[in-house]
Amino acid sequence: MSFTSILRKSASALAPLALRSLRGHRNCHSAIFTALSHSRFQAAVPSLSPFSRAHRFSTKSDESLLRVIESEIQCAEESDDHDQTEETPNNFPFEIEDKPGFQTITLKREYQGEEITVEVSMPDLVTGEDDGDDDDSEKANQSSIPMVVSVAKGDGPCLEFGCTAYPDEIVIDSLSVKSPESSEDQIAYEGPDFQDLDENLQKAFHKYLEIRGIKPSTTNFLHEYMINKDSREYLMWLKNLKKFVAA
């Protein structure tokens, strides 16, 4: 998917994408979790038979679970997301650190002597719709990605922003000054709720992050990237389950 097409996405345009991802593996989840629950139930039933018969019963249960896991793996492999690699836009300002097996990625860059680090979590996919007309209801119907943005200058304190990225919009949820000398035994003052700050100050901090690369053109790409990562991690998790059950 090209960078330009991502920028053209609106909140409504992301709904089919979220639905596709959910159908890609989450609808398949019901089968495997039903099998897992069934397996646990069978294991909990007290056996009145000889040991050999109980062993055969357990083996049969494991074989049934293994077949369901293999079916789920096939379902996940047939989805469109697990093998997609998003092309990083040419002007994407961050270096991406993506370690398999983890549910977050880390972005890093330097900007005028500052070290900027962004931890991006798995997307919160929304497929339902609410009839509310206010801004909060509209955001509740949009998929989003949580992010923690840290801006550091040398070894001194750093600014830490808790953000939620919606399609074409970034919301700052919290802002705090983190000191490297702070003690874990003491609770540091983290300032008022961001929404309680003066409106001009809020706008200034939004501009502050935008200059450093935290803007919709960045987060819309990350939304697609994290959906694909979610599918890859789920497939890897299934294969690890299969190895354990089959051993």
Domains annotated on the chain, with CATH: 3-83+235-246 (no CATH), 95-229 (3.10.280.10)
Q: Per residue in 55-82, pLDDT tens?
A: 565 677 888 899 999 999 988 888 765 5
Q: pLDDT at position 14, please?
A: 40
Q: Which residue has the higher pLDDT, 41 or 244?
A: 244
| pLDDT bucket at 171, cuts 50 / 70 / 90 | very high
Q: Per residue in 195-233, pLDDT tens?
A: 999 999 999 999 999 999 999 999 999 999 999 999 999
Return the minimum-mean-pLDDT range out of 34-38, 59-63, 158-162, 197-201.
34-38
Mean pLDDT along residues 17-23: 43
Q: Which residue has the higher pLDDT, 214 or 33?
A: 214
Mean pLDDT along residues 167-194: 83
C-alpha closest to that of 121 among 26, 205, 235, 229:
229
Dihedral angle over CA of 96, 227, 213, 102, nearest 10: -40
| Percent over 90 (pLDDT), the chain | 47
Query: In DSSP terms, which residues pair with 150 in a beta bridge?
Result: 117, 160
CA distance linking residue 32 with residue 50, whole number of Å: 30
Beta-carbon count within 10 A of 62 CB: 15
Mean pLDDT along residues 88-110: 94
* Average confidence score pLDDT of the chain: 78
